[in-house]
C-alpha cells in the first residue's frame, strides 16, 4: 500500500512543477513586455510620438505678402504677385517615366532631372517654382496623376533694370538677397501663418488640424529715389559709357540740403527679374560698396581745408616751380609750367604742384583731421548693405611723398558716396548731412509707421568758406578751366574734373592704360538744388574727366533742372562752346601728372 501511494504522488508533483515553470516563463515574458511597454509609452514616449507625427502630420505655410517698394512719388519699384508652382507627389504616380517625359516637354526641362525627382521616394517634390501661365496650362492639359499646383508669391520689378542695384532682388523663397530688399528684409517680409494637416501613407491630405495666427503683410517702403531723375541719369550714363568704350560707370544725384539720394545709376545695369542671368558683380550697389582713387576731384576738399585753416584765401599765391617739383626722391610734374598761381587758379587749372604746396602750408595733421570730419575713412551709416570705408592712412604713417600726392587725390581711396556727400557739404553751406535712401515705412493701409528725416552730422567748414569755394569751383567750368564741357546756358555751375590712373597691385604702381574719369559739381551755385557725381571706369577712346565725364554731367543737370522746374538764373554768363586744343590739354593735366608719381607707400 505504501509503495502504491508513493507512485501515485509523483505525477502530481511533476504537474505542479510544469505549472510553476510555465507560469514563471510567462511571468518573465509578461514582465519584459510590460517593461518594454513602459519604455515605449513613458521613457521614449515623447520621442516616438514626434517621429510618428512627422509621418502623418505636415505643416503648410502661407507666406505673407511682401511689402511694396515705391519711389519718392509713389511709383512702384518692387511688388509681389501670385504665381503657380508645379509640384509632385511621387507615391501617387503610377508611371514615373511617362510622367517625367510629359512634364519635361511641357516645362522645357531635362527629362532625366525630372525623373530623378519622381523616383526619389519622397512624399513631395518641386518640379518648377513660379511657372508661367502657359506652362501651367500645358501641365493641366496633360492631366497627370500625382501632379499638383501651389500658389506662391513672387517678387516682380515693373520698371525692370531701373534702379536695380538700389532695390536689389529676392530669391525663390521670397527672402531679400541684395540692395534694399536685403537690408530691410525683416520689415518687408511680414509674418507668415501655418496650418497643420494630416495625411495618409500616400501623402494625401484628409484632415486639417490647428492653425497659427493669420499672416501679417510686410511693411511698405518709400525711397528717396525719383524714377524720373533715375531714368535721366541712367540714360546719360549709358550714352557716355558707350561713347567712350568704358568698362563701367556710376552716377549719384543728391539733394545737398537733406542728404537724400535722388538717383543712383550704374552701367552696366541688370534686370532683377532675371538676376541669375547676370554676373554677380553687377548685383551690388557699387556706388556704395566700391572705392577708387578720386584724382583731382579731391582738390575740392583740399581747397575747403585750406580756406578753413585760415592760412589761405582764394587769392593766396603759390610758386609752382615752373612745372617740376621735387619731393624727397620723387618729382611731381605739371603738364603746363606755371610760376605763380593763386589758390583759385590751382583749382581751375588743376595744378598738382600747386596742390602739393597748399598741402604743405596747411600741414598734414590738420589736413588729416579735416578729411576725417568730411567722413573719409569711415562709414556714414547709409541704409544700404556693404557700405565701404574707403582708405585713408593715419597721418603718422604718411611719408613725405604720401602727403604730397594725397593733395591731388592719389594714395587715398573713397567711395562714390563719400565723394558726393563731401561735395554736398560744400553746396550746403558747409553742413554735412547723413545720406539716406528710405523716406518712410508704411503698413498695408498706408499708415506711416516710421519717417526717416534728414540728419545733420556736423559743420565741416563755415558757410562763408563754403561759398568762397563754390565760386572757385565755378571758375573750373569757365573758359580755360578743365570742366568747360559741363557749362550749361542759363545756370551757374560749380564743379571739378578728375582723371586718375588706376593702381596696378602686380607692378606696385599705376597702370599705364587704365584710368578713372570723373566730374562732380552742383547747380545752381547760389542755391544748389542737386549735386551730381559722374565716374567712368576705364574709358578707351579718351580718358580725361573734362572730356568723358563732364558732358554726362551736363546732360543730367540739364534734364533734371528742367524736370524740377528750376528757372534759369538771371546773371549768367553765356554758355561757352566746345573746348579747343588748349582746353583739352588742360583737361589732361591731372593724368599727365599722376603717372609721374609712384603709388602711395
Whole-angstrom CA distances from 274 to 106, 177, 535 are 21, 13, 26
Are the C-beta atoms of residues 226 and 76 closer than 8 Å to each other?
A: no
SS3 of residue 79 by DSSP: strand
Catalytic residue, candidates 296, 351, 413, 518: 296
Cell numbers placing 425: 557739404
Are 473 and 486 within 8 A, CB to CB? no
Distance (Å, whole) CA 483 – CA 554: 10
Question: Torsion angle of alpha carbons 253, 259, 261, 267, nearest 10°?
Answer: 50
Q: What single string gives the DSSP state of each residue in 170-184? A: B-TTS-B-SHHHHHT
| Cα–Cα distance measured from residue 503 to residue 516, given in angstroms and rounded to the nearest whole number | 10
- The residues that bridge with 73 in the sheet, in sequence order, are none
Among residues 10, 67, 51, the alpha carbon closest in space to that of 445 is found at 67
DSSP of 328-349 = TTEEEE-SS--SEEEHHHHHHH
Q: Has 296 been annotated as catalytic?
A: yes
What CA–CA distance (Å, rounded) separates 263 from 240? 17
DSSP assignment of 542-579 equals: ---HHHHHHHHHHHHHHHHHHHTT-PPPSS-PPPP-S-
Would strands 69-70 and 220-223 be described as parallel, antiparallel, or unpaired? parallel
3-class DSSP state of 51:
helix
Q: Please say whether the beta carbons of 178 and 99 come within 8 A.
A: no
Nearest-angstrom CA–CA distance, 402 and 268: 34
End-to-end CA distance of the chain: 127
d(CA 588, CA 335): 8
CA-nearest of 184, 238, 244, 231 to 439 is 184
Cell triple for 89: 507627389
324 CB-side CA count, 13 A? 3
Contact 295, 423 (CB under 8 A): no
- DSSP 8-state assignment for residue 388: -
Cβ neighbours of 25 (radius 10 Å): 10
Alpha carbon dihedral 345, 351, 356, 357, in 10-degree steps, equals -40
Query: Which stretch of DSSP H or E encloses residue 253?
Result: strand 248-254
3-state helix/strand/coil string of 417-452: HHHHHHHHHHHCCCEEECCECEEEEECCCCCEEEEC
Q: Which residues are tagged catalytic?
A: 296
Amino acid at each position: 500500500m505504501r509503495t502504491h501511494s508513493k507512485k501515485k504522488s509523483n505525477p502530481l508533483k511533476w504537474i505542479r512543477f510544469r505549472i510553476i515553470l510555465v507560469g514563471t516563463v510567462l511571468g518573465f515574458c509578461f514582465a519584459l513586455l510590460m517593461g518594454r511597454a513602459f519604455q515605449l509609452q513613458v521613457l521614449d514616449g515623447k520621442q516616438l510620438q514626434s517621429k510618428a507625427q512627422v509621418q502623418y502630420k505636415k505643416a503648410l505655410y502661407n507666406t505673407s505678402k511682401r511689402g511694396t517698394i515705391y519711389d519718392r512719388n509713389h511709383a512702384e519699384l518692387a511688388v509681389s504677385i501670385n504665381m503657380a508652382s508645379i509640384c509632385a507627389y511621387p507615391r501617387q504616380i503610377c508611371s514615373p517615366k511617362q510622367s517625367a517625359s510629359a512634364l519635361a516637354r511641357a516645362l522645357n526641362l531635362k527629362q532625366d532631372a525630372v525623373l530623378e525627382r519622381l523616383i526619389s521616394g519622397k512624399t513631395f517634390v518641386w518640379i518648377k517654382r513660379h511657372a508661367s501661365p502657359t506652362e501651367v496650362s500645358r501641365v493641366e492639359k496633360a492631366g497627370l496623376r500625382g501632379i499638383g499646383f501651389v500658389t506662391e508669391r513672387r517678387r516682380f520689378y515693373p520698371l525692370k533694370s531701373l534702379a536695380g542695384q538700389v532695390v536689389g532682388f529676392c530669391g525663390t523663397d521670397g527672402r531679400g538677397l541684395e540692395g534694399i530688399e536685403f537690408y530691410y528684409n525683416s520689415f518687408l517680409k511680414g509674418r507668415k501663418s501655418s496650418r497643420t494637416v494630416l495625411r495618409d501613407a500616400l501623402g494625401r491630405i484628409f484632415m486639417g488640424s490647428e492653425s497659427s495666427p493669420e499672416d501679417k503683410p510686410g511693411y511698405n517702403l518709400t525711397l528717396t529715389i525719383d524714377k524720373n531723375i533715375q531714368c535721366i541719369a541712367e540714360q546719360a550714363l549709358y550714352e557716355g559709357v558707350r561713347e567712350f568704350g568704358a568698362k563701367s560707370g556710376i552716377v549719384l544725384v543728391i539733394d545737398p540740403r537733406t542728404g537724400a539720394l535722388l538717383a543712383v545709376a550704374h552701367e552696366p545695369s541688370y534686370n532683377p527679374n532675371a538676376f541669375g542671368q547676370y554676373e554677380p558683380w553687377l548685383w551690388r550697389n557699387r556706388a556704395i560698396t566700391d572705392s577708387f582713387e578720386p584724382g583731382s576731384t579731391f582738390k575740392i576738399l583740399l581747397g575747403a581745408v585750406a580756406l578753413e585753416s585760415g592760412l589761405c584765401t582764394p587769392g593766396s599765391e603759390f610758386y609752382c616751380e615752373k612745372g617740376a617739383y621735387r619731393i624727397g626722391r620723387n618729382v611731381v610734374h605739371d603738364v603746363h609750367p606755371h610760376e605763380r598761381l593763386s589758390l583759385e587758379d590751382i583749382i581751375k587749372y588743376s595744378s598738382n604742384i600747386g596742390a602739393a604746396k597748399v598741402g604743405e602750408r596747411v600741414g598734414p595733421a590738420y589736413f588729416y583731421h579735416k578729411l576725417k570730419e568730411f567722413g573719409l575713412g569711415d562709414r556714414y551709416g547709409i541704409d544700404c548693405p556693404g557700405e565701404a570705408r574707403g582708405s585713408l592712412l593715419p597721418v603718422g604713417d604718411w611719408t613725405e611723398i604720401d602727403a604730397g600726392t594725397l593733395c591731388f587725390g592719389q594714395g587715398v581711396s573713397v567711395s562714390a558716396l563719400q565723394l558726393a556727400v563731401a561735395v554736398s557739404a560744400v553746396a550746403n553751406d558747409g553742413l554735412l548731412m547723413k545720406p539716406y535712401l528710405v523716406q518712410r515705412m508704411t503698413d498695408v493701409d498706408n499708415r506711416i509707421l516710421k519717417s526717416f528725416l534728414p540728419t545733420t552730422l556736423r559743420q565741416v567748414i563755415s558757410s562763408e568758406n563754403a561759398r568762397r569755394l563754390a565760386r572757385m569751383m565755378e571758375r573750373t567750368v569757365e573758359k580755360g578751366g578743365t570742366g568747360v564741357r559741363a557749362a550749361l546756358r542759363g545756370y551757374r555751375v560749380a564743379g571739378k574734373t578728375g582723371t586718375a590712373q588706376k593702381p596696378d597691385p602686380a607692378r606696385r604702381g599705376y597702370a599705364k592704360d587704365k584710368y578713372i574719369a570723373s566730374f562732380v559739381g552742383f547747380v545752381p551755385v547760389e542755391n544748389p538744388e542737386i549735386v551730381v557725381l559722374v565716374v567712368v571706369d576705364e574709358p578707351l577712346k579718351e580718358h580725361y574727366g573734362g572730356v568723358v565725364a563732364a558732358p554726362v554731367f551736363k546732360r543730367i543737370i540739364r534734364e533734371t533742372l528742367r524736370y524740377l522746374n528750376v528757372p534759369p538764373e538771371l546773371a549768367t554768363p553765356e554758355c561757352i562752346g566746345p573746348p579747343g586744343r588748349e582746353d583739352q590739354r588742360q583737361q589732361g593735366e591731372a593724368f599727365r601728372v599722376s603717372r609721374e608719381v609712384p603709388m602711395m607707400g
